[in-house]
Structure 1
Amino acid sequence: MSEWRNTTHDWAGSVDLDHLARIRRNPGEFAPDGVPHLVLEVLAYAAEEAESTGGGHAVVTVHPDGSISVADDGRGTDTRADGHGGFVKKPVMSTKDLRFFDSPEVQRLPDGHPRRGVSVVAALSDWLVHTNRRRNGSWTQRYERGVPVTDLSPITDDGTTGTTVRFLPGQEIGPLRLPEAGDWPHLSVEVVR
């Protein structure tokens, strides 16, 4: 895997426990507006995808159990053959986004706060389920506090592509406040409450 080019995340490792612990120690720094900021961190990936493909759509849903899902119609999270007959997915949930995390001035989200990456959402959530649909296969994986607790589990292909991130914010994030979608030039966002 070391021969793969690391543009957004380091493919050499799937979990960075020190990184996740740093986020959990500083929830006010990494999620300054609580739940709305976490939603924007997820939407930022959908917005990037929409910009690179000429447009896209995302749906943010607040579920009765207090969890929130963000589903987009992009190409799905990058997954690569490991050379041994298996697949490896980009370690977006449990490692730093190399573009933003240590350089918080690089990009600001619509709330005015620095973008740090979706690992912030995973680390500050009691659980998170990442569902991925690509043309070469679909799968889901569950995380608890940013650490994967299941392997990639294949799911039935439904003919669509995209990514769904559903998460239950931890108590340290504060009360559930309904998220705002923000303003994204290439991404239309629907909020379902």
Structure 2
Amino acid sequence: MSDTGAGWRSTTHYWATSVDADHLARIRRKPGEFAPGGVAHLVLEVLAYAAEEAESNGGERATVTLHPDGSISVADNGRGTATRDDGHGGFVKKPVMSTKDLRFFDFPDAQWLPDGHPRRGISVVAALSDWLVHTNRRSNGSWTQRYERGVPVTDLTPIADDGTTGTTVRFLPGAEVGPARLPDVDGWLHLSVEVVR
């Protein structure tokens, strides 16, 4: 599928739009369907992206942290979320938080997470969180962006490079998902996961 206007090929997400409000609203209407098992499932949705990165790079690591404010962060040491030149001297990031994952969302039998439930994509995490902060470190620049209920409320904010690459997703689950509970993080073939409580 080619994205109109940019000549880009969509493989995981549709690059032509940054927010799909109908998609996010659908998730919020049915939290039990899209986050079975509550917060633990949301953590696995984030870890699935780190696991994909680890598989393509021959092995990586991730850290899951439960913070005192009830938020949870998942940090990995992969390449960071993909970006593309916008043709005007800037760049756009892959719209993973606010649009559907084309591989999984509408195809619940496509992949199963270690909790035995279908993978739907990280937009489920964003839509069912009061807030989410996506921090991205790539070889071509680093930035952070905040979302509320899946909708970006800040622009990409540049941050200083620290010599590393990777992605950190920190989110505060909404009350409808239930209390913060971390999942069993075993079961990832190429990804080593550390849990910090």
Structure 1 length normalisation: TM-score? Answer: 0.99
Is 2:31–2:177's contact at 8 Å kept on the other side of the alignment?
A: yes
Q: What is the percentage of aligned positions where both structures have the same residue?
A: 82
1:168 partnered with 2:165: no
Task: Look up the SS of the partner of 1:51 in the other structure.
Answer: helix
Look up the match of 1:4.
Answer: 8
1:140 partnered with 2:144: yes
Is 2:43–2:182's contact at 8 Å kept on the other side of the alignment?
A: no
Look up the match of 1:36.
Answer: 40
Look up the match of 2:118.
Answer: 114
Is 1:111–1:182's contact at 8 Å kept on the other side of the alignment?
A: no
Look up the match of 2:96.
Answer: 92
* Aligned-pair CA distance for 1:77: 0.2
Look up the match of 1:155.
Answer: 159
Look up the match of 2:17.
Answer: 13
Question: Matches of 1:118 and 1:175 in 2, distance apart?
Answer: 19
Question: Matches of 2:126 and 2:33 in 1, distance apart?
Answer: 15
Look up the match of 1:58.
Answer: 62
Superimposed CA distance per residue, residues 48-99 of structure 1 (whole angstroms, 9 cap, x where no aligned partner) = 0000000000000000000000000000000111010111000000000000
1:83 partnered with 2:91: no
Task: Look up the SS of the partner of 1:172 in the other structure.
Answer: helix
The aligned amino acid for 1:108 is: W
Question: Matches of 1:8 and 1:23 in 2, distance apart?
Answer: 18
Q: Which runs of 4+ in 1 moved over 2 A?
A: none
Question: Matches of 1:80 and 1:177 in 2, distance apart?
Answer: 35
Task: Look up the SS of the partner of 2:164 in the other structure.
Answer: coil
1:191 partnered with 2:195: yes
Which runs of no fewer than 5 residues in structure 1 stay unpaired? none
Question: Matches of 1:180 and 1:139 in 2, distance apart?
Answer: 30
The CA RMSD over aligned residues, in Å, is: 0.7
Task: Look up the SS of the partner of 1:190 in the other structure.
Answer: strand
Is 1:79–1:90's contact at 8 Å kept on the other side of the alignment?
A: yes
Which runs of no fewer than 5 residues in structure 2 stay unpaired? none
Is 1:76–1:132's contact at 8 Å kept on the other side of the alignment?
A: yes
Look up the match of 1:48.
Answer: 52
Is 1:131–1:139's contact at 8 Å kept on the other side of the alignment?
A: yes
Is 1:40–1:182's contact at 8 Å kept on the other side of the alignment?
A: no
